[in-house]
Amino acid sequence: MKPSSRAGLLLATTAFVLAAGVARAEDPPKPDAAPEAPKTWMSGITLGAQIQGGYVFNPAFPEQRINFGQTLNDRANQPMLNQAVITLQRQIDPKNPGPYEVGFKLQAQYGSDSRYTQALGIFNHAVNNQMQPDIGEASVSMHLPWLTEGGIDVKAGLYPTLLGAETIDPSTNLFYTHSYIFNFGLPLKHTGAYAITHALPWLDVYTGIDTGTNTTFGMGGDNNSAMAGVLGFGLNLLEGNLTVLALTHFGPENPAKLVPNANGYYRYFNDVVVTYKPNDKLTLITEGNWVRESLNQANGFGAAQYASYALSEQVALNGRAEIWRDDKGFFVAAFPSVHGFTSTQLGNPAPVMTARPTTYGAITLGVTYKPTLPAPVAGLLIRPELRYDSSLNNSKPFNNGKDNGAFMASMDFVLQF
């Protein structure tokens, strides 16, 4: 059976089983119950799992089933098992840290997303099909009561980037498909360490050093021999109803195999996310993005506006509007082969679909449905959406270079245990 068929069978079976779920209320706590005993460090360790799968329908039926302008959702008209994730972790509670706290996160991943989320040097070319393994995260975290009243939080290891409104973890996003900013204007992962200094109750300062974008260490793990870094700040205003995260990641990203003096050409990822909650039902997120590649002076820049309105605890309406400019045709691309993305980062030959300089516009409308299900299910998200992408300067990047616009109807589920 082909991987896509196995994924489709898994999606159908899971949806059928969950359709019969019935919520069960918890017993109210007893008013005279004894206080809970202090937890040990070991008692804070948790083991969880998450599965995401979905389907993107493209009525143009493009050749090679490629949705141009997408990475994790690049396959049209076939069921996808995007991620099956197992996570062992001990989280640090940012609201109630002790004098010192230590946590960790180990996450194993399998699915079609791994074609893009793999860091160089980890499972690259381990299997030759669409479904691939990955290490989602392998990190240690510490809270240090140093310098300021709020102290410092530190993380070291392999971890997802701090930049951006959207994340690799689908449960934190509003939509199945991703923005151009997420796909082409941001890193995905880093190997290194960063610190968040809680300078004031409303101000956090971010500093970090790493091996670069989607890289690890050594030959095959880093595409050049230079380090990279991250700097920025976070604001927490209006009792948490208004937050700002402004970060920049900088360093050489070109493969030394192809680019002479690759260490001398920097790439700058600059991103600002402003989140405002005017009331309990409405959330507004505004993201601005600019990525600059000094090798050929290429720029990608734009903005995305999100809105989410909760009709109830189970149903929310979501919208996203975005405009993003690729002024040299350098950033936006598609990778038909199963190892195309990682091969390109390493400087190895791989088929790549590109477009001429284009200003991209996209509008996405969707619904998030969260039914309540009994244990052992911890949560379920079902997210249908409609999306239209367009070239705003009359280029034809979509559907194998035939169209200046593309329509997609998608739906995914995120199942948590």
The number of C-alpha atoms within 13 Å of 282 and in the hemisphere containing its C-beta is 5
User: Torsion-angle region of residue 34: left (phi > 0), alpha (psi -120 to 50) or beta?
Assistant: beta
Which amino acid does the sequence have at 166? E
What pLDDT sits at residue 56? 98
Q: What does the CA dihedral 28, 30, 31, 37 come to, rounded to 10 degrees?
A: -110
Which amino acid does the sequence have at 213? T
Reduced to 3 states (helix: H, G, I; strand: E, B; else coil), residue 48 is strand
What pLDDT sits at residue 96? 62
CA 18 to chain centre: 26
What pLDDT sits at residue 94? 64
**Is residue 23 in some structural domain?**
no
CATH number at residue 228: 2.40.160
- For residue 359, the cross-strand partners are 325
What pLDDT sits at residue 41? 87
**Is residue 216 in some structural domain?**
yes
- For residue 88, the cross-strand partners are 47, 106
**Quick check: 19 and 376 in contact, CB under 8 A?**
no
Task: At 298, give phi and psi (nearest 5°).
Answer: -90, 145
Task: At 141, give phi and psi (nearest 5°).
Answer: -120, 145
The number of C-alpha atoms within 13 Å of 394 and in the hemisphere containing its C-beta is 0
How big is the CA angle at 116 (ends 111 and 121), to the nearest 5 degrees?
100
Closest listed residue to residue 58, CA positions, set 69, 46, 45: 69
pLDDT tens digit string along 156-212?
A: 999 999 999 999 999 999 999 999 999 999 999 999 999 999 999 999 999 999 999
Residue 361's domain comprises: 154-416
**Is residue 133 in some structural domain?**
no
Ranges of the chain with pLDDT below 70: 1-38, 94-98
What pLDDT sits at residue 236? 97
pTM of the model: 0.90
Closest listed residue to residue 84, CA positions, set 35, 131, 128: 131
**Is residue 315 in some structural domain?**
yes
Rg (CA), the chain: 22
Pairing between strand 79-90 and 315-326? Answer: unpaired
What pLDDT sits at residue 30? 41
User: Measured between alpha carbons, how far is 102 from 100 in angstroms, rounded to an integer?
Assistant: 7
**Quick check: 177 and 166 in contact, CB under 8 A?**
no
User: Measured between alpha carbons, how far is 381 from 367 in angstroms, rounded to an integer?
Assistant: 10
The continuous run of DSSP H or E covering 14 comes out as: helix 3-18
Reduced to 3 states (helix: H, G, I; strand: E, B; else coil), residue 257 is coil
What pLDDT sits at residue 215? 97
DSSP one-letter code for 145: -
**Is residue 119 in some structural domain?**
no
What pLDDT sits at residue 358? 98
Q: In the chain, how many domains are there? A: 1
What pLDDT sits at residue 398? 96
**Is residue 200 in some structural domain?**
yes
Query: How crowded is residue 224: how many other Cβ atoms within 10 Å of its Cβ?
Result: 23
What lies within 8 Å, CB to CB, of 151 at 6+ separation is 97, 143, 144, 145, 198
**Is residue 107 in some structural domain?**
no
pLDDT tens digit string along 46-58?
A: 999 999 999 999 9
Closest listed residue to residue 290, CA positions, set 248, 232, 262: 248
**Is residue 126 in some structural domain?**
no
